[in-house]
Amino acid sequence: MYLFIFLSGVSSVCRKWRKGVTQSLGGRHNLSFAGCKMDDVSTARLVRHAYSLKELDISRSRWGCQISDNGLYQISLAKCVSNLTSISLWGMTGVTDKGVAHLISRANSLQHLNIGGTFITDESLFVIADNCSHLKTIVLWSCRHITENGLVGLVNKCRKLEVINVWGTRVPVDCFIALLTISPALQIKSRGLLLNVGNPPIQQAVV
């Protein structure tokens, strides 16, 4: 991965070597930039070459990810985005609903999404609901700006949704009961609670 990142910013690399690396990148099914210091241009360039990509992880790292809404827009133009089944934007505090909408609106095959630790609002949830009918799991950990309206819209349209993590949000427990009314098989993970059909709220140990 670090070799790919290095080459993404170097234009004077031997043509044959660069071609070989590009071909190798084209066959990858997953890319993770977690732990790497990335920016909009280098990330988008690498993703564009990963034609067979299924899983993309651009979670924030301790080095400080510099990806912005513009970076998500550039990534959204890659041919592989429509085939992605998993995306993680964990902790990406530099992106907003605008960037998330650009990317998610093209990720129609998405099954697993992690946007925990971001500042998204219901606007992103509505875009996910309209474009991700195959979604099975979503992590909304500490997304404090989402509301009951966004969650209801999401669960109403994403009928294959199995697990939703809302730990650290400001949504009341009554909302979770409403979500189970819509989708009885849904498993809801919240702080100190595990909710699913047929069971009362179960208190969990908070580590």
**CATH code where residue 75 lies:** 3.80.10.10
Q: Where are the alpha helices (DSSP H) in 143-190?
A: 148-157, 173-182
Asked whether residue 10 carries a pLDDT value surpassing 90, the answer given is: no
Asked whether residue 196 carries a pLDDT value surpassing 90, the answer given is: no
pLDDT score recorded for residue 65: 65
Number of independent structural domains in the chain: 1
39: its two tokens: 């920016």
Backbone phi and psi for residue 87, each to the nearest 5 degrees, phi listed first? -135, 135
pLDDT-derived band at 35, boundaries 50, 70, 90? confident
**One-letter amino acid for residue 57 of the chain:** D
Entry pTM: 0.84
Structural domain contains residue 207: no
pLDDT score recorded for residue 6: 46
Structural domain contains residue 2: no
Chain centre distance of CA 116: 8
pLDDT score recorded for residue 191: 74
Local structure of residue 193 (DSSP, 8 states): E
pLDDT score recorded for residue 3: 45
Judge whether 125 and 94 are in contact, CB under 8 Å.
no
Structural domain contains residue 3: no
Backbone phi and psi for residue 206, each to the nearest 5 degrees, phi listed first? -100, 115
Judge whether 59 and 114 are in contact, CB under 8 Å.
yes
CA atoms within 13 A on the CB side of 86: 11
- Pairwise CA distance, residues 199 & 100, whole Å: 34
pLDDT-derived band at 202, boundaries 50, 70, 90? very low
Model confidence pLDDT, tens digit, residues 38-74: 889 989 999 999 999 999 999 876 555 679 999 999 9
**One-letter amino acid for residue 56 of the chain:** L
Structural domain contains residue 12: no
Structural domain contains residue 146: yes
Structural domain contains residue 180: yes
Structural domain contains residue 166: yes
Q: State the Cα angle at 165 between 140 and 73, rounded to 5°.
A: 30
- Pairwise CA distance, residues 150 & 21, whole Å: 42
- Give the domain extent around 111: 21-190
Structural domain contains residue 168: yes
